Structure 1
């Protein structure tokens, strides 16, 4: 569906050339929700604007359904862009136009008939839940409602792809959840492929199938959401995960508590999440697990449980318990004390 091949984007500044996006490859399957996450300055916004050529890459190819956008004429590119909707952090609504007009005006500019404009505006304002606010102005709307108008406007051209540029970062947590629920609904019911950028790990957690992690314009990690939440390889991914889940204890705390035996992070995924494995280990191997911190993360396509536990006992028994966890499908990482 979306194929970015060796995308690089450079900017000339007073201090020299800045490479905002550096040789990025990214593939998004049809019907997928793909999240790109990174800290400020990672190159996220530049990358997503390269997808519809609002920023033309310095080098590389942007393919949509096998068509390289970088090789299209201006008229061909305008036509192709109608397949790509986009929503922004700042909503980009016309302040002097009603909700109805904000959705209708782009359709009129594209030459749709009055009847078709009315049909589409009604349809997509219904989908986003704003049929009763058609004659309201942006100043009369909450932030979440403004974003819903922006989503309806993007959907009104009936795109195959929806790009989301930090669409929830200006919203409070409750409103963010409602917008994410709406994006899930759009993806499921309309089959629209969604590529979003964010610096919020809870966005990735709730709606994404696949994830790309950026740092300094480069891809540092890619994979399914469930793999990144269970086995984050890069330190940047690990930092993001720590914002929503206490996956570890500081070495100074382990030392302060004077914990002997194994301080271990156990990551449960799939069938292992529903089994009483810690209780079984205590009974079978004469160890005394003490849970120090624990949480469950619900992803779009699965559940991940993290437990940091202090396993006390004879070294041989502790090792047997750790081997038992591993054999049961639990991802095991010793943070201090005895190792396997």
Structure 2
């Protein structure tokens, strides 16, 4: 659906060239929700604007539904963009226009008839649950309602692709969850492919199928959401995960707790999260596991359980116990000294 092939974007500046995006390769499959996460300045917004060529890449190729777009004429590019909706952090609503007109005006500019405009506005206001707000003005709406209007406006053109540029970062947690639920509904019921950028790990957790981690304009890690949450390879990804799940104990805490045995982090995926494996451990091996931290992360398509435990006993027996856990497909990471 979307393919970025070695995309680079360079901006000139007084101090020299700034490479905002560097040799990015990215594939978004039809019907999936793909998240791009990174800290401020990672190049996320530049990257997503390269998808619909609001920013033309300095080098590399962009393919939308199999069409290479970077060399298209202006007319052909406009035709491609009609199939790409976009929502922004700042909503971008016309303050002097009603909710109805904010959605209708772009349709009128595209040449839709009055009847078609009315039908589509009513349809998508119903989908975003704002049918009773069509005569309201943006200053009469909450932040979440404004974003719903922006989503309805993007959907009214009935695109196959929806781009989301930090669409929830200006919203409170409860409103963010409601908007994420709406994006899931759009993806599942309308079959729209969604590419979103965010710096919030809870957004990735709740709705994404696949994830790309960006740092200093470069891709540093890619994979399914389950893969990244269960076994992050890069330190930046690990720091992101630490914002929603305590993955590590500091060396000072380990020292304060006088943990002189083995400290490990256990990762359980799917069915394993409900298995009493620690109970089996104490029955089969002469070891004593003590739970230090524990949580369960519910992803869009799976469940991941995390335990940090302190295990005491004979070292050889501890190794046998850990091997038993590995055989049960439990991920194990030693945390001594971390």
Q: Indicate the SS of the match to 1:170.
A: coil
Q: Indicate the SS of the match to 1:70.
A: coil
Structural mapping, 1:20-59, within 5 Å: 20-59=20-59
Shift of 1:110: 0.3
Structural mapping, 1:71-220, within 5 Å: 71-220=71-220
Q: Does the 8 Å CA contact 1:2/1:65 hold for their aligned counterparts? A: yes
Partner of 1:315: 315
CA distance in 1, matches of 2:24, 2:329: 33
Question: Which is worse superposed, 254-263 or 299-308?
Answer: 254-263
CA distance in 2, matches of 1:133, 1:271: 44
Partner of 1:250: 250
Q: Does 1:334 align with 2:338?
A: no
TM-score by length of 2: 0.99
CA distance in 1, matches of 2:77, 2:205: 33
Q: Indicate the SS of the match to 1:126.
A: helix
Shift of 1:270: 2.2
Question: Which is worse superposed, 65-74 or 168-177?
Answer: 65-74
Q: Indicate the SS of the match to 1:336.
A: coil
Q: Indicate the SS of the match to 1:86.
A: strand
Partner of 2:240: 240
Displaced runs of 4 or more, over 4 A = none
CA distance in 1, matches of 2:201, 2:271: 24
Q: Indicate the SS of the match to 2:17.
A: strand
CA distance in 1, matches of 2:328, 2:235: 27
CA distance in 2, matches of 1:336, 1:221: 25
The alignment yields a C-alpha RMSD, in angstroms, of 0.7
Alignment deviations for residues 280-321 of structure 1 (CA, whole Å, 9 cap, x no partner): 101110211110001100000100000000011111221111
Partner of 1:288: 288
User: How many residues are matched?
Assistant: 337
Partner of 2:268: 268
CA distance in 1, matches of 2:111, 2:101: 15
Which consecutive unaligned segments of at least 5 residues does structure 2 have? none
Alignment deviations for residues 236-274 of structure 1 (CA, whole Å, 9 cap, x no partner): 000000000001100111122111221110000022111
Which consecutive unaligned segments of at least 5 residues does structure 1 have? none
CA distance in 2, matches of 1:18, 1:283: 60
CA distance in 1, matches of 2:180, 2:335: 35
Q: Does the 8 Å CA contact 1:205/1:300 hold for their aligned counterparts? A: yes
